[in-house]
Amino acid sequence: MEETLKILVVDADEVDRMAIRCALTQAGVEVELSEVSDVNNAFSALSTTPYHCVLLDYRLPDQDGLTLIQRLRSSEIKVPLVVLTDQGDEQITLQLLKAGATDYLFKSRISPEILAHILRSAIRIYRAEMQADLATQQFRESHEKLILKNQELERQQQQIQMQNFKLLEASRLKSLFLATMSHELRTPMNAIIGFSQILLRPKFGQLTQQQADMVQRILNNGKHLLMLLNEVLDFSKLEAGRLDLKGEIFDVSKVINLAVDEMRSLADAKNLSLLVRNDLRNASVFNDPVRIKQILINLLSNAIKFTEHGEIWVEVKELPGNRLAIIVRDTGIGIPPRDFKHIFEAFRQVDQTITRKYPGTGLGLAIIDSLVRMMGGKIFIESKLEVGSMFKIELPRQITLSTLADDAPASQLDDDGFFYHTKNPHHSSSEARKTSIGSPTFKL
């Protein structure tokens, strides 16, 4: 042992104390020895001075060794304690060990080697115990910290749930507001459109050219507003899962031609060629003709809006697996690839500035996306800035009215490397399915 050990000997017998002193000296142990002869003095020495070890005689004049051990324990004074007993005191020894003594030594067996060995191992055991105590203490503390952290996390989770609930409620109210407002505004708008149309009929009296022009502008703007209102209404219904498809068998070529005819004047006004290529051998499909036309009108409207010169092509063809593709291509401004997935989000436009050149609600593609998904179809985009864009819609020839594809990923590339957009469709509850869709939209 390198360090000097501070040892307290508690023994009333002067001869025994001398024997211990001699044994320690002979063992070559570096010690600083203190000696007391009763429990009270031992207790006050241990209360004021830290010792490496106590050698305690069980039989003391005032109180026995057990009393000292108990007083030390209740005062939380920790020190390795070797009890010196007489042979035949085994019962007492056991009691002392249970009470907290580290080790024991029969007085008759005291020798330099044994005493040195007992001292060393008592100190080692004591230190190991202290380390174990410390580890237990640290473990307890970190366990308590974890409990606190857990409680804090639970509290935060509850707050997030609460905020989530509030957000859902706010979103529900927003959709309700949009639905109510657009619905309410449609009635006067229909009156404005209807009466303008009547005014323009010659049998209701001749208007001057200037008056006719003004009424025509009221009519055009009314139709445009109605289109915007219908978009908002459709969107809010889709969000609430209250828009349903009305399936029927019809000639898809006819619907495509109708949509193209409706948009031709807008293309002509911008000097854009509007070309149709129809490769269908069988044009009969089971789908919702109103919604198919709406999709095409929206795509054509965008193609015309975002193209300043060149051509717009509409192509319809059959695909393997009883599927059809409707493709709208333009030679317009194009879309940066980084915006491919955003433009399908509601109210998202490539140019989000107030001073943007192209008008619109930013709902068209979000509505198309939801409708195509409800039809069990997919949308693909290909676009190059300043060159043009291509939107390809792939649809099954026959839709399943409950087609839902909740688990599809948000966006992917298809086998040809096209960006392929998918999003969870808006659900239609069985009760909501009774709600019918609005009238077809017009997009100027």
What are the tokens at 197?
């149309």
Among 350, 401, 404, 408, binds ligand ADP (CB under 6 A): 350
Calpha distance 93→84 (Å, rounded): 9
The residues, ordered by sequence, that sit 6+ positions from 379 with a Cβ below 8 Å of its Cβ are 344, 368, 369, 372, 391, 392, 393, 394, 420, 421, 422
Among 333, 379, 395, 437, binds ligand ADP (CB under 6 A): 333
Among 196, 230, 236, 389, binds ligand ADP (CB under 6 A): 389
Calpha distance 15→21 (Å, rounded): 10
CB atoms inside a 10 Å sphere around CB 242: 21
In terms of CB distance, is 66 or 366 closer to ligand ADP?
Answer: 366
Calpha distance 383→295 (Å, rounded): 19
What are the tokens at 134?
């410390």
Question: Is 404 strand, coil or helix?
Answer: coil
Is 310 near ligand ADP (CB under 6 A)?
Answer: no
Among 116, 335, 374, 393, binds ligand ADP (CB under 6 A): 335
Question: In the bound complex, which residue of the shown chain has the CB atom lying closest to ligand ADP?
Answer: 360
Is 371 near ligand ADP (CB under 6 A)?
Answer: no
Is 370 near ligand ADP (CB under 6 A)?
Answer: no
Question: Is 278 strand, coil or helix?
Answer: strand
Is 364 near ligand ADP (CB under 6 A)?
Answer: yes
Name the residue among 329, 311, 335 with its Cα closest to residue 393. 329
Q: Do the beta carbons of residue 266 and residue 301 sit within 8 Å?
A: yes
Least distance in Å: CB of 328 to ligand ADP? Answer: 8
- Of 116-124, 201-209, 279-287, 358-366, which segment contacts ligand ADP by CB under 6 A? 358-366
3-state helix vs strand vs coil in the chain, percent to 5: 50, 20, 30
Least distance in Å: CB of 290 to ligand ADP? Answer: 18
Is 349 near ligand ADP (CB under 6 A)?
Answer: yes
- Of 67-75, 183-191, 330-338, 405-413, which segment contacts ligand ADP by CB under 6 A? 330-338
Residues that bind ligand ADP (CB under 6 A): 302-303, 306, 330, 332-333, 335, 343, 349-350, 360-366, 389
